[in-house]
Amino acid sequence: MTYLDPSLNRLTGETYHTYTISYFEEGYPVYYFRGYKFTGVDSETGDPTFADLNNDGEITDDDRTYIGDAIPDFTYGITLTAAWKGLDLTVFGSGSHGNDMFNATYRSDYQTANVMKEIFYDNRWTSSNTNGTVPRAGANDMEKYIVSDAMVFDGSYFKIKQIQLGYTLPKTWLRKACIDNLRLYCSLDDFFVFTKYPGFDPEASSDSTSGMGIDKGGYPASKKVVFGLNITF
């Protein structure tokens, strides 16, 4: 973003719980993520710790800063086609690289929420696991933890959106039925995703603009097996 009226500091975007997490501000990517810098878990107390960016001895809203954005470095796609003696094959895929995802499924005030167990529970701090990387249950400052870069993950991905195999019957077989063309096909849609993002879907977005890259637990595209028939008379 290259310009914002001097009377404005920043514009707010998407909210999560009681906090705004995306902002529109000069000098930053459109609707970037703003929050606290998570520096680890206190091994003695199990509480999360954060970077005191203004060195005033307290962790306040003034210590919130850029923690990521959903704008990819580049996007790409590929389409492969092949045909042989009536058979045809199409493979279509697309992806992005360099974009961040803010996982907004963790709610310290909603204990039965569906969250990522392997990220937020399996290595939680306990009295027998004082080196845990996730704060203890009921820790202090969890309202800061859920809007910190602990919630930001690499959202790069590649999806094979469709693999379709078809067969077009020879026209000599169709003349008596007064059919010009008949093609049978089978398609696998949204079957394969390659990503390090631990959430449901690296394409998740709570909104097309201010909520880009914010995953609030929306369901991903379902895998589909499609059978079809194309007939031309």
State the Cα–Cα distance between residues 165 and 184, nearest whole angstrom. 9
Greatest extent of the chain over all pairs of C-alpha atoms, in Å: 87
State the Cα–Cα distance between residues 202 and 204, nearest whole angstrom. 6
More confident of the two residues 62 and 112: 62
Q: Residue 145's pLDDT is what?
A: 93
Give the model confidence (pLDDT) of 19-45 as tens digits: 899 999 999 999 999 999 999 999 999
Give the model confidence (pLDDT) of 167-184 as tens digits: 998 888 777 777 888 899
State the Cα–Cα distance between residues 29 and 209, nearest whole angstrom. 12
Out of 127-136, 145-154, 172-181, 191-200, least confident range: 172-181
Q: Residue 32's pLDDT is what?
A: 96
140 pLDDT higher than 90: yes
Give the model confidence (pLDDT) of 89-117 as tens digits: 999 999 999 999 999 887 655 555 656 77
Q: Residue 176's pLDDT is what?
A: 76
* Every domain of the chain and the residues it spans: 11-232
> What percent of the chain has pLDDT above 70?
96
State the Cα–Cα distance between residues 180 and 168, nearest whole angstrom. 11
210 pLDDT higher than 90: no
Q: Residue 70's pLDDT is what?
A: 94
Q: Residue 136's pLDDT is what?
A: 92
Output b/e per residue, 74-85; b: 16+ Cβ within 10 A.
eeeeeeeeeeee
User: 53 has which bridge partners?
Assistant: none
Residues 6+ apart with CB under 8 A from 10: 4, 23, 24, 25, 26
State the Cα–Cα distance between residues 31 and 69, nearest whole angstrom. 7
How far does Cα 56 stand from its chain's mean position?
Answer: 35
More confident of the two residues 130 and 176: 130
Q: Residue 110's pLDDT is what?
A: 59
Q: Residue 172's pLDDT is what?
A: 81
Place of tokens 């990819």: 72
More confident of the two residues 77 and 108: 77
